[in-house]
């Protein structure tokens, strides 16, 4: 069983997703039952927590799909901050064994388990893997049939793999939790990042007035995404610009979160994706606050794919890195200044952005 130390708990309290337990239960390696094929595949695993050097490209057992599961030949896998947070041991707990990271997969159905309907070999798909499974940094990954959606026709595998964690987080934060409506206003922190660049587009498409923060170099990007007001968080106080908004989507936490309560109108809501927000402070200010942890949702992924095909949502991929160079992808992500997404290319058939 995972062990969570008090030190790590306090470290994580503010800066990392609060659904700590879910992450620490992450055996992210296939369960024994999923390893029955006897074949091997290439994957990137960690055998210990540490810096990017602990990512090892190696041969591992190829998994098989159990009942209600699908085996996907992975073409591309998204990279998210949670990947290097787990790798770095930030969630604490004992590493339960060699672990394959990666929660965003895009690829082609290889085989289906018993009781799976609606999916067949050759279907082009994508999915969010639960934190308890991971498995995306590999040639093959097992996923729950209910988590799958059809790949958008207008996006290649790399751009499709950019979607699951980041776009579902934006959707679940803005719509499922904050219930953002047309005509309302929203402040989106880190609007140029993975979650933020989808959130700005989705809120704009909904018909909301969008305030978004980024550094000076990304202000034009925010405007292209549909932000009405782009705020340089290094040069301006966002609270001097955004006032009386209905919703704040917070992916920064700390002081930024404390100050964000002041920009909400009475009854407005702050949704944090980086920890449980200060509900007591929110109450004192007459606003609401809640934290979310993204969860798989094949149906909403299908709606996101439809928006892409309609030209209303565009994933921005700033770097495509070969699977074998996952260390480089982690180092890029850990810089904290990713524009859009970083994606691992698992097979070579397609590419959609400049390699770095």
Question: Which of 97, 175, 173 is closest to 134 using CA atoms?
Answer: 97
* CB 6, min distance to ligand NAP, A: 22
Q: Name which of 193 and 298 has its Cβ closer to ligand NAP.
A: 193
Q: Which residue is nearest to ligand NAP (CB)?
A: 193
Q: According to CB under 6 A, which one of 226, 233, 239, 306 is a site residue for ligand NAP?
A: 233
In the complex with ligand NAP, which residue's Cβ is closer, 108 or 293? 293
Binding mask 131-170 for ligand NAP (x = CB under 6 A): ----------------------------------xx--x-
| Residues 109/126, Cβ–Cβ less than 8 Å | no
d(CA 324, CA 40): 16
Contact map string, positions 98 to 137, toward ligand NAP, x by CB under 6 A? ----------------------------------------
Measured from the CB atom, the residue of 160 and 213 that comes closer to ligand NAP is 213
- Least separation, in Å, of the C-beta of 318 and ligand NAP? 9
- Site size for ligand NAP (CB under 6 A): 32
Task: Compute the C-alpha angle 136/333/192, nearest 5°.
Answer: 110
Sheet order of strands, 245-250 included: 229-232, 209-214, 185-188, 245-250, 264-272, 288-291
Q: How far apart are CA 181 and CA 197, in angstroms?
A: 18
Position 49 contacts ligand NAP (CB under 6 A): no
Residue linked to tokens 């309907």: 117
- The encoded tokens of residue 118 equal 């609606």
In the numeric block, the tokens 């949704």 are attached to 271
Contact between 326 and ligand NAP per CB under 6 A: no
Residues 283-312 that bind ligand NAP (CB under 6 A): 292-294
Residue in 64, 74, 82, 116 binding ligand NAP, rule: CB under 6 A: 82
Spatial neighbors of 291 by CB under 8 A, at least 6 apart, are 18, 271, 272, 273, 274, 275, 276, 277
Indicate the residue among 159 and 189 with the shorter CB distance to ligand NAP: 189
- Residue 156: CB minimum distance to ligand NAP, A: 20
215 scored as a contact of ligand NAP (CB under 6 A): yes
> How many other C-beta atoms are found inside a 10 Å radius of the C-beta of residue 116?
19
Q: For residues 144 and 118, give the distance between their C-alpha atoms in angstroms, rounded to a whole number.
A: 13
| Minimum separation from the CB atom of position 279 to ligand NAP (A) | 16
Q: Give the nearest distance from C-beta 310 to ligand NAP in angstroms.
A: 24
- In 10 A of CB 117, how many CB atoms? 8
Q: Is 266 helix (H, G, I), strand (E, B) or coil?
A: strand
User: What residues numbered 249-288 form the site for ligand NAP, per CB under 6 A?
Assistant: 251-252, 256, 273-274
The 3-state secondary structure of 164-215 reads HHHHHHHHHHHHHHCCCCCCCEEEECCCCCHHHHHHHHHHHHHCCEEEEEEC
Closest separation between CB of residue 12 and ligand NAP, Å? 11
CB of 110 to ligand NAP, least distance (A): 28
Tell which one of 73, 150, 151, 189 touches ligand NAP (CB under 6 A): 189
Give the residue among 242, 239, 162 at the shortest CA–CA distance from 201. Answer: 162
| Residues that bind ligand NAP in the complex, under the rule CB under 6 A | 17, 80-82, 165-166, 169, 189-190, 192-196, 213-215, 218, 233, 251-252, 256, 273-274, 292-294, 333, 336-339
């Amino acid at each position: 069983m995972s062990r969570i130390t008090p030190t790590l708990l306090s470290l994580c309290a503010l800066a990392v997703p609060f659904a700590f337990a879910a992450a620490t239960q992450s055996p992210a390696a296939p369960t024994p039952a999923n390893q029955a094929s006897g074949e091997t595949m290439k994957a990137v695993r960690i055998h210990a927590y540490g810096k990017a050097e602990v990512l090892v490209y190696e041969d591992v057992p190829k998994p098989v799909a159990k009942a209600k599961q699908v085996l996907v030949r992975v073409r591309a896998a998204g990279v998210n901050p949670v990947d290097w947070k787990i790798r770095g041991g930030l969630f604490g707990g004992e590493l339960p064994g060699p672990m394959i990271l990666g929660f965003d997969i895009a690829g082609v159905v290889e085989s289906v388990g018993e009781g799976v309907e609606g999916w067949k070999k050759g279907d082009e798909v994508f999915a969010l893997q639960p934190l308890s499974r991971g498995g995306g940094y590999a040639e093959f990954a097992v996923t729950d049939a209910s988590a799958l959606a059809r790949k958008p026709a207008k996006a290649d595998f790399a751009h499709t793999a950019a979607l699951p964690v980041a776009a579902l987080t934006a959707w679940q934060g803005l719509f499922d939790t904050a219930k953002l409506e047309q005509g309302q206003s929203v402040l989106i922190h880190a609007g140029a990042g993975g979650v933020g660049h989808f959130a700005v587009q989705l809120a704009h498409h909904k018909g909301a007035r969008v305030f978004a923060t980024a550094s000076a170099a990304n202000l034009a990007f925010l405007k292209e995404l549909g932000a009405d007001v782009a705020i340089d968080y290094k040069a301006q106080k966002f609270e001097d610009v955004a006032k009386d908004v209905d919703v704040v989507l917070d992916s920064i936490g700390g002081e930024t979160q404390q100050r964000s309560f002041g920009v909400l109108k009475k009854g407005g809501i702050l949704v944090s994706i980086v920890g449980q927000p200060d509900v007591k402070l929110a109450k004192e200010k007459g606003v609401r606050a809640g934290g979310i942890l993204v969860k798989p949702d094949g149906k909403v992924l299908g709606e996101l794919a439809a928006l892409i095909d309609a030209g209303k949502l565009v994933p921005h991929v700033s770097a495509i890195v070969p699977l074998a160079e996952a260390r480089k992808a982690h180092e890029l992500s850990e810089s904290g200044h990713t524009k859009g997404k970083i994606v691992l290319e698992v097979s070579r058939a397609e590419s959609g952005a400049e390699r770095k």
